[in-house]
Amino acid sequence: MRTRPLVLAALCAVAAATPAMAFDLGNLTNQLSGALGTAQAPAQQQQSAQAGGASSGAVNAAVAALSNGEVDQGLKSALTRGAEVAVQELGRENGFYGNAKWRIPLPPAIEKASGLMRMAGMGAQADQLELAINRAAEAAVPEAKTLLIGAVKSMSVQDAKGILTGGDEAATDYFKRKTEAPLTQKFLPIVTRATDKVGLAQTYNRFAGQAAQFGLVKADQASIQQYVTQQALNRLYQAIGDEEKAIRTDPVGTGSKLLGKVFGAALGR
């Protein structure tokens, strides 16, 4: 049947000779811009800045009262816990696929056309690919544990103090700097083995690779393997960040006196 190959090429978004046939992957981002809320009024900004200045002084004093050993041990304990929980949560069957928060969607070029795919009788292929990319991520994540724990062990006292006072994203930023490149190399072969078996993935790669050369597809979406690897890493770091935020918010609730003392100081308590 001639229609299916033609529809598939269109769905994959990318090999069309004319711009009208290519998916505009930036369109969705443009639609979402400006939807993240309004800016604070100047008076609110000034009040926030004044309050922040006062609280930061108390936090700095409390943190300064901690010994280097307490900061070092406390941060390493918290980040080790965060990494282990994140890997355990995501690196199991349905860690991604069975959780709406972590499930990796189809690449935008396919996701935006999924309705058309179902009309063309290709819904099963889309479902198969979505399952495969999430299973690939679940298989890859356990490989992260050694590198994440290694990054924690190699942390300096200066790193630890910077993370302690650096806000909710500080630990995530640290992990990204230390582990993103090597984890990408570890994840890619695992993801490739899992997705190579899916025909739609191979078709997507063929067309997306061509489209990326013309800027129609972002570089991290030029292949299923690149897309899944990056999405898996993003979610892994987010899961670590969520655990870190929970510890920061309620350090006493961890049951650790050391974490309670160290993160209590970061809260100015």
Residue 246 lies in a domain: yes
Tell me, yes or no, whether 53 lies in a domain: no
Residue whose token pair is 């400006």: 34
Q: For the purposes of burial, counting CB atoms within 10 Å of the CB of 243, is it exposed (0-12), middle (13-18) or buried (19 or more)? A: buried
Q: Evaluate whether residue 23 is within a structural domain.
A: no
* pLDDT higher at 109 or 20: 109
The reply to whether the predicted model has a pTM over 0.85 is no
Residue 152 pLDDT: 94
pLDDT value of position 60: 58
Going by pLDDT thresholds of 50, 70 and 90, the confidence category of residue 57 is low
Q: Is the pLDDT of residue 41 over 80?
A: no
Of 16-25, 88-97, 202-211, 216-225, the one with minimum mean pLDDT is 16-25
Name the residue with higher pLDDT: 3 or 123. 123
**Has residue 32 been placed in a domain?**
no
Mean per-residue pLDDT of the chain: 77
Q: What is the pLDDT of residue 114?
A: 74
Q: Is residue 63 part of a domain?
A: no
Give the pLDDT score at 17.
Answer: 31
Residue 138 lies in a domain: yes
Q: Which residue has the higher pLDDT, 10 or 215?
A: 215
- Is the model more confident about 53 or about 247? 247
Q: What is the pLDDT at residue 78?
A: 85
Residue 77 has pLDDT above 70, yes or no: yes
Higher-pLDDT residue of 230 and 212 is 230
- pLDDT value, residue 269: 59
What pLDDT was estimated at residue 50? 44
Residue 40 pLDDT: 41
- The torsion defined by the Cα of 177, 212, 199 and 144, in degrees rounded to 10, comes to 0
User: What band does 190 get if pLDDT is binned at 50, 70 and 90?
Assistant: very high
pLDDT at 72 (0 to 100)? 86
Phi, psi of 197 (to 5 degrees): -80, -10
Higher-pLDDT residue of 94 and 206 is 94
Reported as a pLDDT band with limits 50, 70 and 90, residue 7 is very low
Note down the domain range covering 154.
3-12+69-266
Which has more confidence, 90 or 172?
90
- Give a yes or no: residue 123 inside a domain: yes
Instruction: Count structural domains, the chain.
Output: 1
Candidate from 37-41, 55-59, 61-65, 79-83 with smallest mean pLDDT: 37-41
Q: Is residue 180 part of a domain?
A: yes
